[in-house]
Amino acid sequence: MPGFDLFDQREIDALADVINRKMVHRYSFNDSRDGIYRVEEFERAVAERVGARHALAVSSGSASLYVAMKACGIGPGDEIITTPFTFIASVEAILECGAVPVLAEVDESLNLDPESVEPLITERTKAVMPVHMFGAAADMEAYGSLCADHGLSLFEDSCQAMGATYRGKAAGTFGLWGTYSLDPYKIITVGEGGLIVTDDEELYRRMEYYHDHGHIHDKSIDRGAEGKFCLGFNFRMSELQGALGLVQLSKLDGALARLKGIKRTVVDAVADLGLSRRVHADAEGDSATQIVFLLPDEASARRFQKASKEAGVGCGNLSDNTWHYARHWRTLAEALPDHCTVERPRTHAILSRTAVYGLSVAMTEEQVEKTVRAIRAGAAAL
Ligand SMILES: Cc1ncc(COP(=O)(O)O)c(C=O)c1O
Strands 177-181 and 153-156: parallel
- CA–CA separation, 263 vs 271, rounded Å? 12
Catalytic (active-site) positions: 186
Interval 19-59: pLDDT, tens: 999 999 999 999 899 999 999 999 999 999 999 999 999 99
Query: Which architecture, in CATH terms, is 3-250?
Result: 3-Layer(aba) Sandwich (3.40)
Ligand 1 close to Cβ of residue 111 (< 6 A): no
Instruction: Name every residue whose Cβ is closer than 8 Å to that of residue 357 and which is 6 or more positions away in sequence.
Output: 266, 290, 291, 292, 313, 315, 371, 375
Candidate from 69, 87, 112, 182 with most ligand 1 atoms within 8 A of CB, to mutate = 87
Counted residue by residue, the chain has a size of 382
Centre of ligand 1 from the C-alpha of residue 87, in Å:
6
Ligand 1 close to Cβ of residue 11 (< 6 A): no
Interval 303-336: pLDDT, tens: 999 999 999 999 999 999 999 999 998 888 888 7
Domain locations in the chain as residue ranges: 3-250, 252-317+352-380
- CA–CA separation, 181 vs 77, rounded Å? 27
Per-residue pLDDT at 243: 98
- Tell the CATH superfamily of the 252-317+352-380 domain: Aspartate Aminotransferase, domain 1 (3.90.1150.10)
- CA–CA separation, 87 vs 231, rounded Å? 28
pLDDT exceeds cutoff 70 at 339: no
Among protein residues, the one whose CA lies closest to atom 14 of ligand 1: 87
Interval 47-97: pLDDT, tens: 999 999 999 999 999 999 999 999 999 999 999 999 999 999 999 999 999
Atom of ligand 1 nearest to the CA of 194: 10
Interval 119-162: pLDDT, tens: 999 999 999 999 999 999 999 999 999 999 999 999 999 999 99
State the first-to-last Cα distance of the chain, in angstroms, to the nearest integer: 28
When pLDDT is cut at 50, 70 and 90, the band that residue 222 belongs to is: confident
When pLDDT is cut at 50, 70 and 90, the band that residue 343 belongs to is: confident
Percentage of residues in the chain with pLDDT exceeding 70? 98
Atom of ligand 1 nearest to the CA of 86: 1
Average per-residue pLDDT for the chain: 95
Per-residue pLDDT at 333: 82
Per-residue pLDDT at 344: 86
pLDDT exceeds cutoff 70 at 342: no
Ligand 1 close to Cβ of residue 85 (< 6 A): no
Percentage of residues in the chain with pLDDT exceeding 90? 91
